[in-house]
Amino acid sequence: MDIAIVLFDGVDELDAVAPFEVFENAAAEGADLTVTLCTLDGAPTVTASHGLELGSDARLDDVSPDLLVVPGGRWNARGETGARAEAERGDIPAAIRRLHDDGAAIAGVCTGGMLMARAGITDGRPATTHRGAVDDLRESGATVVEARVVDDGDVVTVGGVTSGLDLALHLVEREFGADVAAAVAERMEYERRGSVHRGEET
């Protein structure tokens, strides 16, 4: 399984790094996956929301992921960088829509779900996001669900920041089995939190 995590200036560090670490640990536990940090324009680094420089391995157009992970960050700051700025620019939502149309699953961490909403792929579907953006998600046309992880098959969303760990562990369990997910959680000394809502429960 090929996984890409898209980075942009203002991205929340943990939104991107937590899933990356889970997936890398899953690979170390035997899961057949690769994970690549990407930027839309091929920029080698981005400056994340708390000032950390994150490196990119590839341009998003140069990879063909089975799963795209979309982090959030700075949605309510309304600044020149972050998820809201990227939503208004429109390039990342367009890339999300294109990859989804090509068959990739899309998973949003925190307000990465709002970039998915801007792409139109959560319309009429169960979804969640950071509590500070829930009203915006509802207004976008998604069906907001009170759960830490909302799995609607090819569209998966989670709540705020730390829930990226639960997103990635859920996806590892879904794709590679409970034993691998449990081994990763033990390796990272993380106790999984919150409820999982599956689309058929709607």
What is the distance between the alpha carbons of residues 124 and 33, in angstroms, rounded to a whole number?
A: 31
Q: Are 93 and 119 spatial neighbours (Cβ–Cβ below 8 Å)?
A: yes
Which strands, in side-by-side order, build the sheet including 67-70? 58-59, 34-39, 2-7, 67-70, 105-108, 155-158, 149-151, 196-198
Q: Rounded to whole angstroms, what are the CA distances from 200 to 61, 104, 152?
A: 32, 20, 8
Amino acid at 69: V
Please give the mean pLDDT across all residues of the chain: 97
* Percent over 90 (pLDDT), the chain: 97
Topology of the domain comprising 2-201: Rossmann fold (3.40.50)
Amino acid at 197: H
Q: What per-residue confidence (pLDDT) applies to 201?
A: 57
Query: Is 87 a residue whose pLDDT tops 60?
Result: yes
The pLDDT-based confidence of 199 (bands split at 50, 70, 90) is: confident
- Closest CA relative to residue 170, chosen from 187, 189, 186, 157: 157
Whole-structure pTM value: 0.97
pLDDT by residue (tens digit) across 22-67? 999 999 999 999 999 999 999 999 999 999 999 999 999 999 999 9
Query: Is 202 a residue whose pLDDT tops 50?
Result: no
Residues with Cβ < 8 Å from 202, sequence gap 6 or more?
126, 143, 145
Q: Are 82 and 102 spatial neighbours (Cβ–Cβ below 8 Å)?
A: no
Q: What is 61-110 written as a DSSP string?
A: GG---SEEEE----TTTT-SSSHHHHHHH-HHHHHHHHHHHTT-EEEE-T
pLDDT by residue (tens digit) across 121-155? 999 999 999 999 999 999 999 999 999 999 999 99
What is the distance between the alpha carbons of residues 32 and 26, in angstroms, rounded to a whole number?
A: 8
Q: What per-residue confidence (pLDDT) applies to 104?
A: 98
Query: Is 112 a residue whose pLDDT tops 70?
Result: yes
